Every structure is written in C-alpha cells, then in structure tokens.
Chain A
Amino acid sequence: TQLLEQSPQFLSIQEGENLTVYCNSSSVFSSLQWYRQEPGEGPVLLVTVVTGGEVKKLKRLTFQFGDARKDSSLHITAAQPGDTGLYLCAGDYSWGKLQFGAGTQVVVTP
C-alpha cells in the first residue's frame, strides 16, 4: 500500500489568513490530485498535478508537486469561510487507481 500522509489533520484560521496543507509519501506517483469534500457529500476535484516541480494556481489556491513526485502542498491565500472543508490528496499509483490521504479539515471563521 502506498501511504499518503497529510498534515496537519485539522486547521482552524481566521478569514484573511493564509494556510498550507501538506501531503507526503515515500512512493512515487504518476500524478497527484487534490479534492475538497463538504460534509455529507462526495469529494470534488480541485486540481491534478502531473509533472515533478509543477505549480498550478486556481484563484487563491496554489498547488505544488514535489520534484520527485512524492509530495505535494496546497496553499490558500486570504482564506474565506467558503474555503471550509475537508481537503484530500490522492496519488495515482497505477493507471487511475488512487491512494487517498486521511485529509485535512480546514475551518475558516469570519
């Protein structure tokens, strides 16, 4: 099993602050995906990173894939209450088979 460790497990911040979530593994992945999940709903794909060292920006969200394709980070600038949710990283280890991390619960208070 290719383990993906996410940190921190829980993050509570005030609106306007920045935050970073980390996803680490000892395994190499062909790609890595970040999802956000609301309570009682399925995960929604935010981004897929494929190339080592790749950086993708989605409005206030910045995603980075490590050079060795073993780790990734998600940075949110000026967080808003709407950013509240469970952030999951998932590594593709074999033709679309995903290994998920346990998630980081982010709470942004007004």
Chain B
Amino acid sequence: EAEVAQSPRYKITEKSQAVAFWCDPISGHATLYWYRQILGQGPELLVQFQDESVVDDSQLPKDRFSAERLKGVDSTLKIQPAELGDSAMYLCASSRDSMTQYFGPGTRLLVL
C-alpha cells in the first residue's frame, strides 16, 4: 500500500539555525498539505499545494517559513531561523480528490 514518506523523522536543532523537512506524497496525488501539530493539540494547516502551485498559505509564518513543490511531486518545508516555539510535529499529507487526506509519519522537531 502506497504511503506518504517524510524525512527526517526526528530533528534537534538550536534556535536561530535553519531546518528543512522533506515530503514525498503518494504517487498521483495532486494535492499536498503541510501541518504543524503542537503537543496536546490537533494538526493546524500551514500550506496547501495543488500540483506545484500554492493554494493556501494564509497560516504560514512567512517571515521564517517557506515551502516549495517545484515539480509538483515532492515538497520541502524550511524554517529559518528556528525559534523555541517551533518545536512540534510537522506532518505532510496528500490527497487525490481533496476528500481523503493520507498523512505521513511526521517529523518531530525540537528546538533548543
């Protein structure tokens, strides 16, 4: 069964450093989502792509966060510089029909 792949699974960094997360969606899924999940809360949408285009990035802190999906397949989410409050689980999801989203295992980020 096809799955959404994410790497790394865990990342520890110091504040003010740059970090990057990678996501490979299920083949054929045009829509890709990045979420942030703070401990004890549900996931919150950061950015949504349709193919290579950003559909919604209204909740993305653009002063430090950036996301790209250059060829409409895999995607990278970057934080520069990282802050203590960025510690969270970063989840990627993909969808073929916008009704069902399939989540990857996530990247757990700890900023020291």
Which residues on A are within 8 Å of B, measured CB to CB?
4, 31, 35, 40-45, 48, 88, 90, 92, 95-98, 100-103
When the two chains form their complex, are residues A100 and B44 in contact, meaning their CB atoms are under 8 A apart?
A: yes
Give chain A residues whose Cβ lies under 8 Å from the Cβ of B44: 100
* Across-interface contacts of B93 in A (CB, < 8 A): 42
Quick check: A42 and B42 within 8 Å, CB to CB?
no
Q: Which of B40, B42, B95, B108 contacts A90 (CB 8 A)?
A: B42
A100 touches B42 (CB 8 A): yes
Q: Does B75 contact A (CB under 8 A)?
A: no
Query: Given A98-B43, A101-B42, 14 more contacts at CB 8 Å?
Result: A4-B42, A40-B106, A43-B103, A44-B103, A45-B100, A45-B102, A88-B43, A95-B98, A96-B48, A96-B95, A96-B101, A100-B42, A100-B43, A103-B42
B41:A102 contact, CB within 8 angstroms: yes
Contact across chains for B106 and A102 when beta carbons are under 8 A apart: no
* Contact in complex: A96, B41 (CB < 8 Å): no
When C-beta atoms are compared, the residue in chain B nearest to A31 turns out to be B99
Is A88's CB under 8 angstroms from B42's CB?
Answer: yes
Residues of B within 8 A of A102 (CB): 40-42
Q: Chain B residues near A95 (CB, 8 Å)?
A: 98
